[in-house]
A and B are shown apart, each in its own frame.
Chain A
Amino acid sequence: MNFAFTADQVMIRDAAQSFLADESGSAAVRAASASETGFDAGVWQRIGSELGWCAIPVAEEHGGLGLGAVELVLVLEQMGRQLLCAPYFSTVCLAANLLTQVGNEQALRRFLPAIAEGHLCATAPLSSGADDWLDAAAQIQARRKGEVWTLSGHCPRVPDAAAADWLLLFAQVEGERKAALFAVPREVAGLKIEALEGWDATRRFSSITLDGVTLPAEDRIDDASRIEDGLSRAAALARLAIAAEQLGGAQQCLDLTVAYTAARKQFGRAIASFQAVKHRCAEMMVRIEATRSAVYGAAALAASKTTADALALECAVARTLASDTYFYCAQEAIQLHGGVGFTWEYDPQLYFKRAQASSHWLGNADGLRERIAQALIA
């Protein structure tokens, strides 16, 4: 047993840190999030084809690097820290993740190589239930007639849908107990994508309506034999990814606050020298390091052989802590910045909005705690 990162893992983390500090600073984030698409296409292209980050979790047989959750978490932590605006999370942590866990052989070969190369943008719902997308599946009905599927329904929150080439959507099929997964091309008759204007502009959401969208049989992409365990695993890994981003965001809130309080003088001294301020920063660090331990621990578990239930429990723990820690640190950052913390100009507000928005993704902390309680108490 060894809990230290390998040299390769440290290298990946450091490269991510330095690239994102250069390309996703405050000004870049503000520019990207105010742009029409919501991200800088040049940066996204470099991430895909130059840095190879889209290939990290994709198996080598499908053109990926075949690395594990640990490497992915280290990169995501830096993305969250710098509020990277790019369809990375939706493409890699939702779409590629779902394909890997529940996709049929044909779908894996069809989509994963293009995702790994950074040529394909895809997404899936980020619903708010803690029930592994069952809430999303309940809102779309799929019917089969001969070789053609017809889908109708609604999906209220899909990230980066406007940028995606393919949308992976869950649906209910009459007579089937489990959710089904479909790949829906963006340009298809009957599909309406409506952009939502969110307070958190660093990740764009759209609401999706399907009105009799027809798809060929091959666009149903789930492998029925893997769907039950697979959905649990995919949701757990997506929660872990969110937790990693939240961890990075919380860390940045602390770093911004420590820097600001060191520079800001009142009563003739840096406000960082007041115990009332020091203790609040220390409390942020306690919660961040606790969250870091949970996130790295869940990543190490995800990278080893484990059951779907154990993985679900550990990732729910990490995500619960990360959500609470992120919001706590964002609110403390605003308070400890004083008046400027309330302005548009200073960055704490960006993290505050992201902390609140991300707190719902795939279950809020209360919902996940109830899931943990079910596993422990029954």
Chain B
Amino acid sequence: MNLQPSPTDEAFRAEVADWMRRHLKGRFASLLHRGGPGDEEADPALRKEWERELAAGRWTCVGWPAEAGGRGLSIEQQVIFHEEYARAGGPGRMGHIGEGLIGPTLIAFGSEMQKRRFLPGIVAGTEFWAQGYSEPGAGSDLANVQTKCWQEADGSWRVQGQKVWTSLAHESEWIFVLARSEPGSKSRNGLSFLLLPLSQSNVRIQPIRQMSGGSEFNEVFFDGAVAESGHLVGKPGEGWKVAMGLLEFERGVSTLGQQMHFAYEFDLVVKAAQANGASANPQIRQRIAQAWCGLRVMRYNALRMLSGGERPGLKREALIYKYYWSNWHRELGKLAMDVLGPAGDAISDDPRIRPLQQLFFFSRADTIYAGTNEIQLNLIAERGLDMPREPRPAV
């Protein structure tokens, strides 16, 4: 156990920090600390330009292998990149679904043609992606996908059905979809993984207005929407394997970057408490200290996750992580509003108030998406403690 960074890593850290300082300014200055979860509607056009600025500096897809267009950075250096990016106030990444989800999936499961067609656009920040997994009847029970797909005589695929909670679909060119290709199949069997362009007449995108007022998420309706014959990933009927493989790519490298943003939000709360005198209230002081404890836990927990050779998905600290950070973040949102007091109840554009209100409202989603609290606790009990599994429907 050693907390001292190596000189090479320190030099790399300085390089990232320096690049961010020189580029995240001028016309991009308005993006500082913007565009994260809950704020994804912040100036998408400018954020796409920022993606291309990053690409010009070779700072997109830094963890991808060089032959795929990435930098092939080590885990340690990826962590450093994400930390320094967030520390500098780098905006929420428009390209994160492409870079973090579909890109690695194509690298692992895609055909040569698919890699050639899609990876360069992700690396260059010119093509953006949406994720089509959840459906009205397939939330926690993701395998209960009802959207259908079938192959036409010319080899192309058609998709019929509805996806929901697709973030930024209206700002994206492409969507990847999990759909049932074998009629009558159930659960994980008979699913296929398809890539579709969003700009076609038989795709309709409808925004969902959130409790926070904004609309980062959408419903996407497919009415015989077309995917090219070569745009099925893996084999027909093996879509579940591809979809789950995708989750394996989450190595936790971006979690330390996420924590930098959490630390930034924590500082906003402390500043608000100092400004209005709430910081003298003993209960508020206790809760601020408690929130700080959580920040330290998340940092060391992430370092545990990233150390050693075990597969990260199987480690105890990795199992608890999503549940821990999402509940911590939700508590911070409540603390922020309690610090603000009645001032927090007024709809406000004050930069000292608005981000805290966004935090309060959007963090309610944190414990629901990507595995609800209840699903997380099932996973922890079953995988972490070997307790009996929930009964599953017969397949």
A and B: partners?
yes
User: Which residues of B sit under 8 angstroms from A225, Cβ to Cβ?
Assistant: none
B292/A376 in contact, CB under 8 A: yes
User: Which residues of B sit under 8 angstroms from A9, Cβ to Cβ?
Assistant: 1
Give Cα A279–Cα B382 distance, bound, in whole angstroms: 10
Q: Which of B292, B308, B381 has the most CB of A within 10 A?
A: B381
Give Cα A299–Cα B304 distance, bound, in whole angstroms: 13
Chain B residue nearest to A366 (CB atoms) is: B286
Interface residue from A5, A275, A314 paired with B296 (Cβ < 8 Å): A314
User: Which residues of A sit under 8 angstroms from B68, Cβ to Cβ?
Assistant: none
User: Which residues of B sit under 8 angstroms from A301, Cβ to Cβ?
Assistant: 3
Known A294-B300, A301-B3: A2·B307 in contact at CB below 8 Å: yes
User: Which residues of A sit under 8 angstroms from B141, Cβ to Cβ?
Assistant: none
User: Which residues of A sit under 8 angstroms from B388, Cβ to Cβ?
Assistant: 270, 272-273, 278
Give Cα A369–Cα B1 distance, bound, in whole angstroms: 27
Interface residue from B292, B298, B385 paired with A281 (Cβ < 8 Å): B385
- Total A-B pairs, Cβ < 8 A: 154
Give Cα A159–Cα B237 distance, bound, in whole angstroms: 66
B6/A1 in contact, CB under 8 A: yes
B152 interface residue per 8 A CB criterion: no
A370/B9 in contact, CB under 8 A: no
User: Which residues of A sit under 8 angstroms from B307, Cβ to Cβ?
Assistant: 2-4
A285 interface residue per 8 A CB criterion: yes
A285/B270 in contact, CB under 8 A: no
Interface residue from B273, B316, B390 paired with A377 (Cβ < 8 Å): B273
Chain A residue nearest to B379 (CB atoms) is: A282
A278/B300 in contact, CB under 8 A: no
User: Which residues of A sit under 8 angstroms from B323, Cβ to Cβ?
Assistant: 286
| Shortest beta-carbon distance from B306 to chain A in Å | 7
User: Which residues of A sit under 8 angstroms from B4, Cβ to Cβ?
Assistant: 1, 304
Give Cα A303–Cα B376 distance, bound, in whole angstroms: 34
Give Cα A296–Cα B374 distance, bound, in whole angstroms: 28
Chain B residue nearest to A299 (CB atoms) is: B1
Give Cα A191–Cα B9 distance, bound, in whole angstroms: 57
Known A270-B388, A293-B304: A373·B299 in contact at CB below 8 Å: no
A297/B324 in contact, CB under 8 A: no
Give Cα A289–Cα B297 distance, bound, in whole angstroms: 9
| Shortest beta-carbon distance from A249 to chain B in Å | 17
User: Which residues of A sit under 8 angstroms from B286, Cβ to Cβ?
Assistant: 366, 369-370, 373
A283 interface residue per 8 A CB criterion: yes
User: Which residues of B sit under 8 angstroms from A369, Cβ to Cβ?
Assistant: 285-286, 289-290, 293
User: Which residues of A sit under 8 angstroms from B304, Cβ to Cβ?
Assistant: 3, 292-293, 296
Give Cα A5–Cα B310 distance, bound, in whole angstroms: 13
- How many residues of chain A get a CB closer than 8 Å to chain B's CBs? 49
B285/A300 in contact, CB under 8 A: no
User: Which residues of B sit under 8 angstroms from A317, Cβ to Cβ?
Assistant: 292-293, 296-297
Give Cα A273–Cα B385 distance, bound, in whole angstroms: 12
User: Which residues of A sit under 8 angstroms from B2, Cβ to Cβ?
Assistant: 1-3, 300, 304
B213 interface residue per 8 A CB criterion: no
Chain B residue nearest to A377 (CB atoms) is: B279
B303/A297 in contact, CB under 8 A: yes
A279/B377 in contact, CB under 8 A: yes
Interface residue from A262, A275, A376 paired with B390 (Cβ < 8 Å): A275
Give Cα A193–Cα B317 distance, bound, in whole angstroms: 45
User: Which residues of A sit under 8 angstroms from B320, Cβ to Cβ?
Assistant: 285-286, 289-290
Give Cα A258–Cα B273 distance, bound, in whole angstroms: 42
B1/A285 in contact, CB under 8 A: no
B288 interface residue per 8 A CB criterion: yes
B296/A297 in contact, CB under 8 A: yes
User: Which residues of A sit under 8 angstroms from B292, Cβ to Cβ?
Assistant: 317, 372, 376
User: Which residues of B sit under 8 angstroms from A272, Cβ to Cβ?
Assistant: 387-388
| Shortest beta-carbon distance from A321 to chain B in Å | 6
A70 interface residue per 8 A CB criterion: yes
A279/B5 in contact, CB under 8 A: no
A266 interface residue per 8 A CB criterion: no
Q: Which of B5, B299, B377 has the most CB of A within 10 A?
A: B377
User: Which residues of A sit under 8 angstroms from B274, Cβ to Cβ?
Assistant: 377
Contact with B along A4-41 (1 / 0, CB 8 A): 11100100000000000000000000000000000000
| Shortest beta-carbon distance from B281 to chain A in Å | 10
Give Cα A369–Cα B290 distance, bound, in whole angstroms: 7
User: Which residues of B sit under 8 angstroms from A349, Cβ to Cβ?
Assistant: none
Chain A residue nearest to B317 (CB atoms) is: A289
B378 interface residue per 8 A CB criterion: yes
A320 interface residue per 8 A CB criterion: yes
Interface residue from B6, B270, B293, B324 paired with A286 (Cβ < 8 Å): B324
B97 interface residue per 8 A CB criterion: no
Give Cα A283–Cα B274 distance, bound, in whole angstroms: 33
Docked complex: A248-272 residues within 8 A CB-CB of B: 254, 258, 261-262, 270, 272
| Shortest beta-carbon distance from A2 to chain B in Å | 5
B342 interface residue per 8 A CB criterion: no
Give Cα A277–Cα B316 distance, bound, in whole angstroms: 19
B246 interface residue per 8 A CB criterion: no
User: Which residues of B sit under 8 angstroms from A262, Cβ to Cβ?
Assistant: 387
B236 interface residue per 8 A CB criterion: no
A377/B1 in contact, CB under 8 A: no
Q: Which of B286, B324, B385 has the most CB of A within 10 A?
A: B385
User: Which residues of B sit under 8 angstroms from A275, Cβ to Cβ?
Assistant: 378, 390
A377/B296 in contact, CB under 8 A: no
B282/A285 in contact, CB under 8 A: no
Chain B residue nearest to A69 (CB atoms) is: B1
A interface residues, Cβ below 8 angstroms from B:
1-6, 9, 70, 254, 258, 261-262, 270, 272-273, 275, 277-279, 281-283, 285-286, 289-294, 296-297, 299-301, 303-304, 314, 317, 320-321, 366, 368-370, 372-373, 376-377
B interface residues, Cβ below 8 angstroms from A:
1-6, 9, 76, 270, 273-274, 279, 282, 285-286, 288-290, 292-294, 296-301, 303-304, 306-308, 316-317, 319-320, 323-324, 374, 376-378, 380-382, 384-388, 390
Please list the 8 inter-chain residue pairs (A to B) with the smallest Cβ-Cβ separation, ordered nearest first.
Answer: A297-B300, A278-B381, A369-B289, A282-B380, A373-B285, A273-B388, A372-B289, A3-B307
Show 20 residue pairs from A and B whose CB-CB distance is below 8 angstroms, ordered by the A residue: A1-B3, A1-B4, A2-B1, A3-B2, A254-B385, A258-B386, A272-B388, A278-B381, A278-B388, A281-B385, A293-B304, A294-B297, A296-B1, A296-B300, A296-B304, A297-B303, A300-B1, A370-B286, A376-B292, A377-B274
